[in-house]
Structure 1
Amino acid sequence: MASVTLMKGANKVDGSLKGKVLDFLYKLQEDDTSPGLHIEPMKTYKDSRARTGRVDQQFRAVLFKLVAGTEPHYVYAGTYNHDEAIKKAQTSILTVNPVSGIAELISAPVEGSAPPQAAAVVSPAATGPAYENGLQKAGYTPSYLFEELGIPERTGAAAVDAASVEAFELVVTDEAVPEWQGLALIDLEAGKSLQEVKEGLGIGDYVDDPTKSDDEKLAEALKHPASKLEFTYAEGFEDLEYVINNESFQDWLVFLHPAQAQYAVKDRNGAFRLSGGAGTGKTVVAIHRAKHLADHHPDSRILLTTFTKTLADSLAQNVGRLDPGLKQSDRLDESRVTVAGIDSVAAQVWSKASPEEQAGAFRVVLGTPDAAATSRSSDKEWDEALEQVEHKLEPALANPTFLGQEYLSIVLANSVTDRDGYLTVPRGGRGTALNRMKRIEVWKVIEAYRRICRSKGAVSYPELAALAAAVLDQRAAGAGDRPFDHVIVDEAQDFHAGHWLLLRALVAPGANDLFIAEDSHQRIYGQKVPLSRFGIQIVGRSRRLTLNYRTTAQNLAFAVGLLSGVPFTDIEDTAEESADYRSARSGPHPQLEGKESLSKELDNAAGWIKAWSNDADFAPETIGVLVRSGKQVDFVVSGLLERGVSVQKVSGDKEAHPDEPVVMTMHRAKGMEFSKVILFGVGEASMPLQWALKDLGDAEKSDALLQERSLLYVAATRARDELVVSWSGKPSELLGIGA
């Protein structure tokens, strides 16, 4: 029986051919000597290992045969038309990089023609504004890049000499350049040290072993962490089928870059935070972290949680995609691995608490055991409290936004239950200052709010999370056990104080207790609260990802531009940068298109969708039209239908179905991705929503605008390949352009 390694991208064949390729590889694994495979070596070659095999009368597979061990090992490099397959097999070389020890498939020059790699990486004339090439600034030379990393001098020279962003991107994303080399150049250009790059790719001091055959060296090189960027080993028939059928739009969702592996597998003495921009792979690391802990700590209880049910469902799907055999559940105590939204976790803890435990929690959180939690409160109760109480608060303080944030970030976070406690509690992090008299007036409203909610048997979602935390803390104080040994948190930037109280209560402090993935630039809900306030210490245990795997460099530049000049801080209130985000992918520039009317903007959107849909191989459900509000969703769906474009509305927990483009709010799109995205209605009246800013104080208004900017950034980074931004009338101020 033969073993097979597949090269990334080699299985990108259409549906009619995919089954034949899979059948060919099945038979190859089973018996590579079968006459029906027609495995033939090349008469002229640059690599004696090169072979082709018959897929059907028209197509042949390109293979490289290694003899290293008791069974033959084939590297599958793709299926091509007969003549093209022969040419590729004759001119390709599977080799070990002499410096890094990484396996590479490179093209050798054909006699009488120019070297294809040279043609591929020649830098074009600068087409964009002049920029400071980070490689030049650091003093890197082509010879040094080869000596230290094994990057060919021709490729290194093209990168070092690049005079524009476009020129540099052309080098690092070219198909002739192995992916690990492109990523190394991107990181070096962005300012990472050579040592950091080596560590990220797993490059040590490679020493050639003369006692091993060339095939044995190649077999070993294919196991290198960085080789896995381009080569996937198929252990058996099931692996073959999975790889062939699943290399698609969803690939990157579970792909772990070698530089990220350390974060997924390394043991920590306590809580650890991983930050990074949209598309940098934080969620992928979190998923792999859950699998690693499950595999290596078989008796442990693991929670993988996030902000919403929709995001939790996505996490569960991707955990299943990564390891179909890993048992998981969204219910506590049903499986060793629980994947659930944080509010669902709170509700489950509370529902399972005894009446005595609930009474004790009410006393801790609300100051009285005489309460109930049969329904959920909202801003309506704040409005009622303001109407019932005679107060002297100005409009900037007498509104549900300020009061709700104050109650959550100060009162609930510190378990304040009476006026004296509120008058003395520190308010660090709150932008609006309150003197003693104002605190007294605010507490009057808070008391009324609590009284109204108690009369209705209602608590807010943040209160429920705090109550659940109090239940767990009481159990632990009575020598009870915490529910989990390891908790992994995704989208942590949106978690509020109640959530953090609960997270700390779910797992005891200790080794590998909390793994926190977050991006302050994507905070579209909630308020920042220092983690140390909840007994979560991450000082010295925090790292940041900067390489984007989802979005093209052009789309990323636009999205990051939305954040420029605006101060962002992380969950520890430390300044967070965005200028060093980089992408390893290239594509068309975003299209910014203003129209005279909504009707013409709809015409424009319909035109884009029709043009994209003309591609027979394109999946319509990978087109996303994102808008600011739910009302806009309905308007766009009906407007596109009138123009002959059928789309699907996705809201709440509803999942998108195949074969139709998707229309949803920007909030609903959080955690999702599309190949093509239209940001519709990004006009001055829609972003930011003007009514939402009414009567807000300066600090609250500033934070609301920051969240609107983050929302637009989130929406823009949903696009993998193409991005269109449209509006009618005047554009949003957040775009930073004129009318």
Structure 2
Amino acid sequence: MVAGGSAYDRACEARRQERELREQLWAARREAERWEAASEGERRVAAQLLMLTGRGWHLLVDRRWPGTRAANVDMLLVGPGGVFVIDVKTWRAAPEAAGGRLTAGRQPRDGEVRKLLAVTRVTEAALAPLGLSPVAVQPLMVFSGRSFDAALGRVRLLGEREVAPALLTERVRLSAAMVRVVAAHLETVFPAYETSSAGPAPAGTPSAAGPLPPAPVAPVAPVTPLPIRAAAHDEDALFDVGALRDAAAKAARRGPIEQWMTFLHPDQVALVRRNWSGPARIGGPAGTGKTVVALHRAAHLAQRTTGRILYVTFASNLPRVQRTFLRTMSPAVVGRVEFRSLHAWARAFLEERGIAHRLHGGRAEDAFSRAWVRRGRDSVLSALDPSPRYWREEIDCVIKGRGITSFEEYATLRRHRRRAALRRPHREAVWELYEEYERLRTERGVHDFNDILTLALAEASARPGRSPYAAVIADEVQDLTLVGVRLLHALVGDAPNGLLLVGDGQQAVYPGGYRLSDAGIDVRGDRGQVLRTNYRNAKAILDAALAVVADDAFEDIDGSRLAGRRDIHPTYHDGQVTRAVFTDPQARDAALLDALRARGRASWPDSAVLCRSQRDVGRYRRLLERAGIPVCALERYDGRPVAGVKVGSYRRAKGLEFKHVHLPDPGPWLEPVPDGGGRPATAWTAWAPPGAVDDEIALERAQLARAQLFVAMTRARDTLWLGVVRAAEQDARREGAAYELRGAAVTPYDARGRHREAHVPYAPYAQPGRGA
């Protein structure tokens, strides 16, 4: 060994250890500086948020991310505006959000966004048992020392000074009781963060175990864990899950009806957040919250996908209302959800693809009227029903609505929701009428509403990869035709979470029908969900409405056969049904005005007068206006509160609800059974209008009329007023006039389809897509 070699080796080892210690020291210093900067940044942001605690907000800081060893959540803020998962960033370089990416100093920071979204999903899952909708949980990234305002998907990006003003402008989503319960629940789910180093946490580190340092920030108001018990008298002290649900429902009922429509019950949260492997269907009786679930589902999907969401209905007025409701619930995503009626969307789709079409309902109806004179009026069809209405429906809803193109297919077709048994000679006559109508329509160079859907289906099927939609939601799907459902299916196919169909066969207000299997859609298993709890109607109202359809069994779109009086679980046991019987229409109308005035002007924005026909709609609008009662026509209602009574038809009211509903003329074929008649007072007896020679056609009309009345009655939440003119019914029966069910109305026609009163040619029913 060289002299001094051993000492040299020890010196080299010592210097190596010194270098390692210096590197560790420098690394520790840099880490400490970063933590000190982050801590200082969190204190600065917390200082901005503390001003909210005096307005009913609760702030939780430095919480442990459940399911992880050391990960933490900077802040959880709970207040009237909802729940905000806050990630505070103190970056030397300025943040930039462009092209869907987050950068700082040209360095990608998308990982920080993904982390925030992950903890947001954990928060949503933690709050699901309380019934809090995912739209009430929002991810928020706040940049300390910066002025910034942007968004990346559902993540809001704000600067230190912008955060508090932005939160103050949030709409009220949670009551005071709910805020306290949610905060206490989150404090349990996200426990206080405990540092992994030995010894106490460094001074100045934010911790949920105590308030923030006193300087320069005032202490955070602590959130004391609340006992899990129900209070007997103080609603704000209800802190168990069941009591919270009741308190939320009561608070929503006290607010305007537009706020109630955005209420989501805890039992429905799972459907909003569920991942389906293919097309899905949500069904259930009236009042079970199907539309509310669909709207929350649209917001949920819009937050988690990059494509657009298409939300379609049959009625033309409903999309405006639903867009307003979604804007109220989740304004950040409303721009990514497209609300359209199916026919309006199909026309825009054809124009976008350059497909020529010429929709002209009037000329198409003229073509049918001429076809009826030439091929129908003197055929075997008149022996079943001399009115052209039934046979127009056969062409619209059965032949063209189901995409039938050959007589062989029609000859053996099962005609869903059509009771008349058509033998081969009748079907041959119908087909001759259909072919004559198509020939005359083609000569005029026009399309009807069914043609628009058929053209759109052909285009969508030919180019399936060009759909811009990540998901399609169809509300009131039972009112669509089979061709319409096939069209929506063609847009997204069987993609996971692609197609959601929402509706109930009992509430179908148009003739004809289909099965989902006819469209190649399989929703068996967990992809077919049925809601059974009624959250809307007072029990008395629900009982009265169910009595109308109690004897009308029906086939749902999934093929199941259901009884008219279904198993429904009511949750609201207040409410009132008023049945008033009059001897003349003038007395009834005077009583209607008295009922509206007695309830008071404050109730008018939450009230509706619903009528069976558009003619009656016009008459009652004029009646109310002459009486000094402000009116809002349902065809113009867009979901925003208005200081007037809504007036519209039964069909226009589909998908809507009101605290108080008035039906001044429920129909001459229905009258209440008086007390002591051997049946409950809520029961109704029906008689079929004698316009049809065939009994099955008459019964079909009467059943459809009862379904329409059932829909109108179930729009009422708190009170339902029914005005019946019994003398007019008796006179109509004595006259024995042929009554034609025209839309939701009953209008007398003679055997040739001419109006008895006006002596004008037969006027067809309102065309699909135009509403009624």
- TM-score, normalised to structure 2's length? 0.59
1:289 corresponds to 2:273: no
CA separation of 1:227 and 1:29: change in aligned 2, threshold 3 A: farther
CA separation of 1:569 and 1:435: change in aligned 2, threshold 3 A: closer
CA separation of 1:639 and 1:435: change in aligned 2, threshold 3 A: closer
Corresponding residue number in structure 2 for 1:622: 606
1:528 to 493, 513, 520: 513
C-alpha distance in 2, partners of 1:441/1:32?
74
1:648 corresponds to 2:631: yes
Corresponding residue number in structure 1 for 2:425: 437
Corresponding residue number in structure 2 for 1:517: 502
1:229 corresponds to 2:245: yes
C-alpha distance in 1, partners of 2:637/2:706?
26
C-alpha distance in 2, partners of 1:428/1:308?
21
C-alpha distance in 1, partners of 2:362/2:350?
13
Corresponding residue number in structure 1 for 2:589: 602
C-alpha distance in 2, partners of 1:446/1:691?
27
CA separation of 1:407 and 1:590: change in aligned 2, threshold 3 A: same
C-alpha distance in 1, partners of 2:51/2:635?
50
CA separation of 1:683 and 1:254: change in aligned 2, threshold 3 A: closer
Corresponding residue number in structure 1 for 2:467: 482
Task: Verify the 8 A CA contact 1:391 1:444 in the aligned structure 2.
Answer: no
C-alpha distance in 1, partners of 2:552/2:566?
12
CA separation of 1:504 and 1:31: change in aligned 2, threshold 3 A: closer
Residue 409 of structure 1 and its aligned partner are, at CA, apart by 4.5
C-alpha distance in 1, partners of 2:417/2:130?
51
Residue 645 of structure 1 and its aligned partner are, at CA, apart by 3.9
Corresponding residue number in structure 1 for 2:692: 695
Alignment of 1:296-311 (within 5 A): 296-298=304-306, 300-311=307-318
CA separation of 1:481 and 1:608: change in aligned 2, threshold 3 A: same
C-alpha distance in 2, partners of 1:600/1:685?
20
1:467 to 430, 455, 476: 455
Corresponding residue number in structure 1 for 2:545: 559
Q: Give the SS at the match of 1:720.
A: strand
C-alpha distance in 2, partners of 1:556/1:659?
27
CA separation of 1:388 and 1:323: change in aligned 2, threshold 3 A: same
Task: Verify the 8 A CA contact 2:257 2:657 in the aligned structure 1.
Answer: no
CA separation of 1:542 and 1:218: change in aligned 2, threshold 3 A: farther
1:572 corresponds to 2:558: yes
> After superposition, what is the alpha-carbon deviation per residue over 1:343-363, rounded to whole angstroms, capped at 9, x for unaligned?
1111112223335xx5xxxxx
Corresponding residue number in structure 1 for 2:215: none
Query: Which of 217-226 and 713-722 deviates more?
Result: 217-226
1:347 corresponds to 2:351: no
Corresponding residue number in structure 2 for 1:718: 715
Gapped regions of structure 2 (runs ≥ 5): 1-45, 64-73, 81-126, 132-176, 179-184, 195-207, 211-221, 229-237, 672-684, 731-772
Alignment of 1:290-439 (within 5 A): 290-298=298-306, 300-328=307-335, 336-354=336-354, 373=359, 379-389=365-375, 391-396=379-384, 399-412=387-400, 415-420=403-408, 422-423=410-411, 430-439=418-427
CA separation of 1:225 and 1:288: change in aligned 2, threshold 3 A: farther
CA separation of 1:411 and 1:636: change in aligned 2, threshold 3 A: closer
Residue 605 of structure 1 and its aligned partner are, at CA, apart by 1.4
> After superposition, what is the alpha-carbon deviation per residue over 1:351-378, rounded to whole angstroms, capped at 9, x for unaligned?
23335xx5xxxxxxxxxxxx96565655
C-alpha distance in 1, partners of 2:634/2:77?
48
CA separation of 1:545 and 1:433: change in aligned 2, threshold 3 A: same
C-alpha distance in 1, partners of 2:457/2:337?
20
Residue 29 of structure 1 and its aligned partner are, at CA, apart by 5.7
Corresponding residue number in structure 2 for 1:45: none
C-alpha distance in 1, partners of 2:686/2:628?
28
1:591 corresponds to 2:581: no
Task: Verify the 8 A CA contact 2:417 2:512 in the aligned structure 1.
Answer: no
Residue 305 of structure 1 and its aligned partner are, at CA, apart by 0.8
CA separation of 1:378 and 1:593: change in aligned 2, threshold 3 A: farther
1:705 to 702, 705, 713: 702
Q: What letter is aligned with 1:458?
A: V
Gapped regions of structure 1 (runs ≥ 5): 1-25, 38-60, 77-99, 105-176, 179-201, 233-242, 329-335, 359-370, 734-739
Corresponding residue number in structure 2 for 1:631: 615
Q: What letter is aligned with 2:331?
A: P
> After superposition, what is the alpha-carbon deviation per residue over 1:47-66, rounded to whole angstroms, capped at 9, x for unaligned?
xxxxxxxxxxxxxx999999
Residue 430 of structure 1 and its aligned partner are, at CA, apart by 4.5
Residue 582 of structure 1 and its aligned partner are, at CA, apart by 2.7
Task: Verify the 8 A CA contact 1:626 1:664 in the aligned structure 2.
Answer: yes
> After superposition, what is the alpha-carbon deviation per residue over 1:593-634, rounded to whole angstroms, capped at 9, x for unaligned?
1122222212211211111116xxx24221212222222233
C-alpha distance in 1, partners of 2:706/2:128?
44
C-alpha distance in 2, partners of 1:293/1:426?
37
Residue 290 of structure 1 and its aligned partner are, at CA, apart by 1.0
Corresponding residue number in structure 2 for 1:278: 286
CA separation of 1:373 and 1:667: change in aligned 2, threshold 3 A: closer
Corresponding residue number in structure 1 for 2:217: none
Q: Give the SS at the match of 2:275.
A: coil
Number of aligned residue pairs: 526
Identical columns (%): 24
C-alpha distance in 1, partners of 2:664/2:431?
42
> After superposition, what is the alpha-carbon deviation per residue over 1:642-662, rounded to whole angstroms, capped at 9, x for unaligned?
5x4423251534558733323
Task: Verify the 8 A CA contact 1:103 1:227 in the aligned structure 2.
Answer: no
Q: What letter is aligned with 1:451?
A: R
Alignment of 1:724-739 (within 5 A): 724-730=721-727
Task: Verify the 8 A CA contact 2:689 2:698 in the aligned structure 1.
Answer: no
C-alpha distance in 1, partners of 2:77/2:469?
43
Q: What letter is aligned with 2:373?
A: E
User: Aligned Cα RMSD in Å?
Assistant: 4.6
Q: Give the SS at the match of 2:405.
A: coil
CA separation of 1:717 and 1:475: change in aligned 2, threshold 3 A: same
Residue 545 of structure 1 and its aligned partner are, at CA, apart by 1.2
C-alpha distance in 1, partners of 2:543/2:710?
11
Query: Which of 598-607 and 64-73 deviates more?
Result: 64-73
Corresponding residue number in structure 2 for 1:197: none
Task: Verify the 8 A CA contact 2:289 2:534 in the aligned structure 1.
Answer: yes
C-alpha distance in 2, partners of 1:73/1:372?
55
C-alpha distance in 1, partners of 2:632/2:580?
23
- TM-score, normalised to structure 1's length? 0.62
Alignment of 1:100-119 (within 5 A): none
Residue 403 of structure 1 and its aligned partner are, at CA, apart by 2.6
C-alpha distance in 2, partners of 1:226/1:509?
38
CA separation of 1:278 and 1:707: change in aligned 2, threshold 3 A: same
Task: Verify the 8 A CA contact 2:584 2:728 in the aligned structure 1.
Answer: no
Residue 247 of structure 1 and its aligned partner are, at CA, apart by 5.0
Q: What letter is aligned with 2:546?
A: V
Q: What letter is aligned with 2:708?
A: L
Q: What letter is aligned with 1:280?
A: T
C-alpha distance in 1, partners of 2:555/2:622?
40
Corresponding residue number in structure 2 for 1:680: 664
C-alpha distance in 2, partners of 1:584/1:323?
27
C-alpha distance in 2, partners of 1:485/1:72?
31
Task: Verify the 8 A CA contact 1:682 1:725 in the aligned structure 2.
Answer: yes
C-alpha distance in 2, partners of 1:502/1:673?
29
1:550 corresponds to 2:536: yes
